[in-house]
DNA sequence: CTGTTAGCGCTTTCAG
DNA sequence: CTGAAAGCGCTAACAG
């Protein structure tokens, strides 16, 4: 038995032509049941597997798509990649995971090289790459299909999938206001995944529910150092504000956790003296103390829908799918204690 | 300009044969400097990129390797995959990430199909798959090169890379003992990543340093539910023990975090009343409160070395690389408070 | 319903 | 140092 079994071998074993074997293997219906049976048995007996390279060469199809992200690590991206991988496999596709950081001029060229070599059939872009115009141009130039996750600009340019940040922020605002909070700290995280508009949505939702805009403090996260330190610094600034916020929205869980830590160190009780809500619902959110109230990102669903859109027949009209972000209330938020409400 | 640029087009543009272009592209040195120059310019001008499928077809090489893991999600695996991806890219290889869970009979067959289709050049196995005999047999049968991460059995069968669990546990034991702890709780996590021997190493190291074996309590983690609940249950059992442990080793950070949470809820001070150490050094370890003392898993280095071993020329003698696990002392461990040391 | 012919883009002989 | 011919394993087009 030869080391590598080709269509030819199967054809000989089954006493038919190579093309017929090809038909059977590819599920072409124009084959008689008996022939199909013979061939299938030969395939099974010989352990034949089609050579993807050969098939790809002649069909000019690769059965590969890529997902391009600025990072490979971190909860958000690794969940996204894992889910995309699963979705691709289910459809018989392979997924290439590409890292793309905009540091030098030739990054784009290297990416182009990689994309063209693989003869990809489509790409998924993750935020904030979804809004990288040069990248979108490249993809257009290569004639690649594209689905963007959480794009903020040029919404009609490609198919897209987003979580509904605005709805999430409204839910959170309702939660805070109904608990009786009146003074807020919001961390705005410009380059955060996946949206820079969260704090605007939240502010708007809060004001719309009667919160005094002067009692909403916004702090920018300093991305130049470790995120833990940046979060603590922002928390420190909130705690100096007058009146002091009784509720903080932290832009992400990775920011919420060190904020809570900092508050606890300062002798504050969480949530009694300070409620803190995060965003993402990462795996650790329910393991920390107190468990985090947070907005759940439907990451797996997002990835799944993105791949479905990518592999489904294109439609002339661009599709944009929006998924809700459920609020998961745990123990890091509650009504403020009376002393705080009255304070100052 | 044709949509797809082939060697032929470049050859015509440069006025040479296709083979010469091939030589230049592949860095063959038997080409005159002038010819090489002409060709390179034509390549650049036309934006030529070799077609991997064609190349793969004729060379029977795919420039692809796979990493096979039981999960796609979770810190340990996603870090491993990300690092492996980076290492592969640096060497001009592509990485296929495969999920393999042993649930049904035909899982192995499906994996075989996937591996054979892709004409892989090698695979990396992650724990506990590194000890799956049937999987190893399949890989042998397919004639695939293989590097295992943290194997526990059949050590001479393939190349391998491990973190030095024993050295790590010794460091931790020294830390605990030198802080003055005398009573310990150890969580044994049989199916945990990446080693079931940790608790044995730690117990041995502790005893060797004079700890009374009767004062080492070992609890099994119940994997049937959410890990948070299992961890809390184990912690509860420790807190009932007499004498009560003043130091707990938690098998992983994901277990350590809810244990600390539970202890805090019970009114214990951490680390004064109870020191807790984890293992892995996941990203959240320094963001929680108190920051976690933990053994750092050199995941990136492990992945990097595994890929290097896989792509380096095979050697007749199997190689096994062992990387140290540095102890990262943070604030979740300290000397026990006097009341606890004396208690019972 | 089935087989033949041709060729995808590249690299490997083996000659010049 | 360079080129011509052959073919990797598969499928598209056309016959039959």
**B68 beta partners:** B98, B125
Are A73 and B51 within 8 A, CB to CB? Answer: no
* Higher pLDDT pick, B324 / A32: B324
Contact A228 B118 (CB under 8 A): no
User: Residue B57 — pLDDT band, cuts 50, 70, 90?
Assistant: confident
Buried-exposed string B125-161: b where 16+ CB fall within 10 A, e elsewhere: bbbbbbbbeebbebbeeeebbbbbbbbbeeeebbbbb
Scanning chain A, the segments in alpha helix (DSSP H) are 7-14, 18-25, 33-46, 52-59, 75-90, 107-118, 133-141, 165-179, 198-208, 227-240, 253-265, 299-311, 338-342
pLDDT per residue, tens digit, chain A (344 aa), is 456 789 888 888 888 888 898 888 888 888 888 888 888 888 888 888 888 888 888 888 888 899 999 988 888 898 999 999 989 988 888 888 888 988 776 688 888 877 777 778 899 999 999 999 999 999 998 888 999 999 989 999 999 999 999 999 999 999 999 999 999 999 987 655 555 678 999 999 999 999 999 999 999 988 888 888 899 999 999 999 889 999 999 988 999 999 998 998 898 999 999 999 999 999 889 888 889 999 999 999 999 999 999 998 888 899 999 999 999 999 999 999 887 544 44
Q: What distance, in Å, lies between the first and last C-alpha atoms of chain A? A: 87
pLDDT in tens, B138-197: 999 888 899 999 998 899 999 999 999 999 999 999 999 999 999 999 998 765 555 567
Residues constituting chain A? 344
Contacts of A280 in chain B (CB under 8 A): none
Q: Supply the pLDDT for residue B195.
A: 56
pLDDT at A105: 67
Instruction: Kindly report the nearest CA distance between residue A16 and chain B, in angstroms.
Output: 23
- The CA angle A133-A135-A138, to the nearest 5 degrees, is 110
pLDDT digits (tens, 9 = 90+) for B116-126: 777 788 999 99
| pLDDT at residue number B260 | 94
Name which residue leads in pLDDT, B341 or B215. B215
Which residues in window 191-210 of A are less than 7 A from strand D by Cβ? Answer: none
Quote the pLDDT of residue B61: 82
CA–CA separation, B196 and B133 (whole Å): 17
Of how many residues is chain B composed?
A: 344
Cβ atoms A250, A276 nearer than 8 A: yes
- pLDDT of amino acid B340: 56
- Six token digits for residue B299: 């995941």
Percent of chain B topping pLDDT 70:
95
CA distances from B309 to B139, B161, B246, B306, B315 (A): 16, 9, 42, 5, 10
Interface of B with A in 8-27 (CB under 8 A): none
**d(CA B324, nearest CA chain A) in Å:** 22
Check if the beta carbon of residue A333 is closer than 8 Å to that of residue A279. Answer: no
- The two tokens of residue B4 are 């797809």
The span from the CA of B340 to the CA of A220, in Å, is 44
- Token readout for A85 is 């991988």
**Nearest by CB: B73 against A82, A116, A254:** A82
Q: Is strand D less than 7 A from the beta carbon of B31?
A: yes
What is the pLDDT averaged over residues B194-205? 84
Q: What is the pLDDT of residue B344?
A: 40
Residues of chain A contacting B52 with CB distance shorter than 8 Å: 53, 117-119
Q: What is the distance in angstroms between the CA of the first residue and the CA of the last residue of chain B?
A: 86
Q: Which nucleotides of C are covered by protein (CB under 7 A)?
A: 1-5, 7-13
Question: pTM of this prediction?
Answer: 0.83
Torsion angle of the four alpha carbons A101, A105, A111, A114, in this order, in degrees rounded to the nearest 10: -130
Looking at CA atoms only, how far is residue A311 from chain B in angstroms? 19
Instruction: State the Cα–Cα distance between residues B287 and A256, nearest whole angstrom.
Output: 9
Of A210-214, B1-5, B287-291, the poorest mean pLDDT is in: B1-5
Residues on chain A touching B227 (C-beta within 8 angstroms): 287
Q: B288 vs A288: CB contact, 8 Å cut-off?
A: yes
Check residue A68 and give its pLDDT: 95
**Percent of chain B scored above 90 by pLDDT?**
51
Kindly list the residues from chain A whose CB atom is less than 8 angstroms away from the CB atom of residue B121: none
- For residue A287, give the nearest of B96, B117, B257 by CB distance: B257
What value does the mean pLDDT take over residues B55-70? 87
Task: Locate the chain A residue with the closest alpha carbon to B84.
Answer: A72
Taking the Cβ of residue A244 and every Cβ of chain B, the question of whether any pair is shorter than 8 Å is answered with no
Contacts of A261 in chain B (CB under 8 A): 287-291
What's the confidence (pLDDT) of residue B118?
Answer: 75
CB-CB under 8 Å, B260 with A118: no
State yes or no: pLDDT of B17 exceeds 50. yes
- For helices B7-14 and B33-46, what crossing angle results, to 10°? 120
Distance CA B103, CA B101 (A): 6
pLDDT of A289: 83
Section B45-54 average pLDDT: 85
Angstrom distance, A121 CA to C4 C1': 31
């Amino acid at each position: 038995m030869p080391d590598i079994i080709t269509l030819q071998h199967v054809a000989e074993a089954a006493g038919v032509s190579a093309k017929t074997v090809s038909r059977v293997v590819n599920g072409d219906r124009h084959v008689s049941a008996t022939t199909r049976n013979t061939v299938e048995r030969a395939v099974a007996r010989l352990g034949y597997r089609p050579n993807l390279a050969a098939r790809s060469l002649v069909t000019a199809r690769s059965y590969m798509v890529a997902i391009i992200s600025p990072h490979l690590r971190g909860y958000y991206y690794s969940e996204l990649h894992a889910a995309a991988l699963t979705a691709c496999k289910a459809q018989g596709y392979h997924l290439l995971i590409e890292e793309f950081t905009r540091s030098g001029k030739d990054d784009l060229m290297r990416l182009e090289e990689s994309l063209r070599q693989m003869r990809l059939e489509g790409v998924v872009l993750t935020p904030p790459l979804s809004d990288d115009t040069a990248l979108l141009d490249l993809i257009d130039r290569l004639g690649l299909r594209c689905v963007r996750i959480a794009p903020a600009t040029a919404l009609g340019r490609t198919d897209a999938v987003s979580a509904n940040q605005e709805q999430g922020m409204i839910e959170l605002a309702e939660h805070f206001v109904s608990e009786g909070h009146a003074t807020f700290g919001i961390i705005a995280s410009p380059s955060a995944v996946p949206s820079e508009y969260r704090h605007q949505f939240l502010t708007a939702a809060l004001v719309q529910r009667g919160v005094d805009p002067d009692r909403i403090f916004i702090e920018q996260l300093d991305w130049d150092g470790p995120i833990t330190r940046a979060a603590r610094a922002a928390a420190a600034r909130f705690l100096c504000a007058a009146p002091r916020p009784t509720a903080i929205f932290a832009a992400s869980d990775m920011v919420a956790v060190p904020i809570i830590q900092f508050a606890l160190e300062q002798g504050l009780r969480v949530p009694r003296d300070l409620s803190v809500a995060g965003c993402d619902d990462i795996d650790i959110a329910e393991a920390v103390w107190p468990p985090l109230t947070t907005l759940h990102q439907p990451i797996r669903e997002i990835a799944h829908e993105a791949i479905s859109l990518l592999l489904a027949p294109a439609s002339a009209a661009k599709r944009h799918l929006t998924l809700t972000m459920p609020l998961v209330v745990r123990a890091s938020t509650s009504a403020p204690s009376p002393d705080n409400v009255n304070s100052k």
